[in-house]
Amino acid sequence: MTLTFIGLIQLILGLAIVLWGRLRTAFIFLIVSGLFSGSAAVALPALGGSTIPPVYFALGFVILRIVVPRGGYLGLVPEAISANKWFLLFTFYGVAAAYVGPRLFAEVTQVAPMNALNARGAFDMVPLLPTSQNITAQVYMIGSFMMALCGFILCRREGGKDTLISSAIFVSWAHIVLGLVAIAVRGTPLDAFLELFRNGNYVYMDSVAGGFVRIAGIFPETSLYSAFAFSFFVLHAELWYRSIRPNANGWLAFVLALILFFSTSSTAYMGLLSYLLFFMLRTVMLPHVADQMKMVRVIMAMGAMVIGTAIVLAVNPGLPEMVWDMILVMTVDKSSSESAEVRLIWAMQGVRLLFETWGIGAGPGSFRSSSMITAMMGSVGVIGTIAFFVYLMQVLKPMRRSTWGPWSDDAISVGGAFASAAFLGLVPMVISAPQAYPDWIFSLLAGGAIALRMSPRWEDGAQSAYAIEEPPEYAMLGDNSGRSTA
């Protein structure tokens, strides 16, 4: 195990927070560390070159801050585990399957290796066998579950949701700035400095498409940068829709939408399309919940983007041809490329493994996929997949009114925004993720969403107060005059 320079800085800051800092400071440290998701805090050569990203390294210090005797947060741990029991079942089964699966079904089938360095070519298949990637997957699954527990504990404390929102606002602006700076300094000595933060075990992809420089920031590729941006775009858009810090969240959502639009990433375009469909369906199918004025503003913003794009194209006559070439590269040409064929094979092997392992699963880390859903089916089988989808419904609460629009109690309203952002934030992973488990953003928001909609009140002590949940009679039906009795 080797600490990188990022890990060393985190170690110093993390220990200082554990010894002298507050829980809110620990969570700010955690979320800011997420900016460096393309980096490595710890290198693990013994595990085939695997690395621990900074956000999961920071998670360890958050957990320490929760369990230290003077923290006063241990009383919330049993409640957090109980509230996230379906995620616990998913994690427990996944960890067990990662050990048992590749041994039980050893050499019964061929799979694409999770570690691309072990492959001789794009279409290369190897026998199903236990690898160091199974251990890495176990660590990440446990980390995802612990992230949900931490998000729950933070949001069960007074001021916790405000800490998470403020941190998200800061991180989103930083993500935008880093993306623009990386483009501005491309090919200069400062570009080499940014390369220091791309020290994770990832393949760095070319950042040019159809003559356009793609936005990647300090991430190894544009799709990862866009997936990160999309999760926070949905979060800020949903908070703005519920009038939670509307100015800050509204502007952030608009700028992030522009970043995603000009990213040239197919992941970004699929994400934006999914959110647009979600927004339109909410307005059409639930008019008594939808905010009509917010809908008008969204249409105006989209119109402004179209007009702005048209002006730019008119000023630069050669730009339309470049844009068209870029669109062909990212859509038609990409769908018929070798990469698309490989991704289809990777995605379908998850379905194949579900049947070949009799619904048990080959274990997380046993094979590479290109969709979290099919990776989940082939890795954790029927039990793990059902457990995750039950947890997802527990987070989303689709029959609750706060999932789709504002609520009179800010805590419940923010919980609905967190839930929607966690759910829609899975879109990039569903269409491109190689692993069977969600990322840290989903886990943190999911845990916070459950906590906020369980109880909108808190006590000053270690024990959390139990208040009345969102009244079921106002869950999806009724008029906008319904008030929370909590």
**8 Å CB contact between 281 and 325:** no
**Which of 370, 373, 402 is closest to 386 using CA atoms?**
373
Work out the end-to-end distance of the chain between its first and last CA atoms, rounded to an integer number of angstroms. 50
Question: How far, in Å, CA of 251 to CA of 344, rounded?
Answer: 37
CA distances from 16 to 64, 170, 225, 398 (A): 12, 22, 30, 41
Give domain status of residue 14, yes or no: yes
Give domain status of residue 479, yes or no: no
**Which of 169, 424, 445, 438 is closest to 272 using CA atoms?**
424
Give domain status of residue 378, yes or no: yes
Task: Assign residue 211 a region (left: φ > 0; alpha: ψ between -120 and 50; beta: otherwise).
Answer: left
Compute the half-sphere exposure of residue 301: CA atoms within 13 Å on the CB side of its CA: 18
Q: How many domains does the chain have?
A: 1
Give domain status of residue 482, yes or no: no
**Which of 435, 385, 380 is closest to 96 using CA atoms?**
380
Query: Which domain, by its residues, includes 36?
Result: 2-474
Does this model's pTM top 0.95? My answer is: no
Q: What is the pLDDT along the chain (486 residues), one digit of tens a residue?
A: 788 888 899 999 999 998 888 889 999 999 999 999 888 888 877 666 678 889 999 999 999 998 887 666 888 899 999 999 999 999 999 999 999 989 998 888 888 777 655 555 556 678 888 888 889 899 999 999 999 999 999 998 888 899 999 999 999 999 999 999 988 888 788 877 888 777 666 555 545 554 556 788 888 888 889 999 999 999 999 999 998 999 999 999 999 998 998 887 778 888 888 998 888 888 888 777 666 677 777 777 777 767 766 676 666 555 555 554 555 555 544 544 555 667 777 778 888 889 999 999 999 988 888 889 999 999 999 999 999 999 999 999 998 888 888 888 889 999 999 999 999 999 999 888 888 899 999 999 999 999 999 854 443 333 333 333 454 434 444 443 333 333
Residue type present at position 388: F
Give domain status of residue 485, yes or no: no
Give domain status of residue 96, yes or no: yes
- For the chain, the farthest-separated pair of C-alpha atoms sits apart, in whole angstroms, at 66
Planar angle of CA 11, 16, 19, nearest 5 degrees: 125
Give domain status of residue 314, yes or no: yes
Give domain status of residue 227, yes or no: yes
- CB neighbour burial string for 437-451, b if at least 16 within 10 angstroms, e if fewer: bbbbbbbbbbbbbbb
Q: Tell me how crowded residue 110 is: count the other CB atoms within 10 A of its CB.
A: 13
Per the listing, tokens 């969240």 go with 249
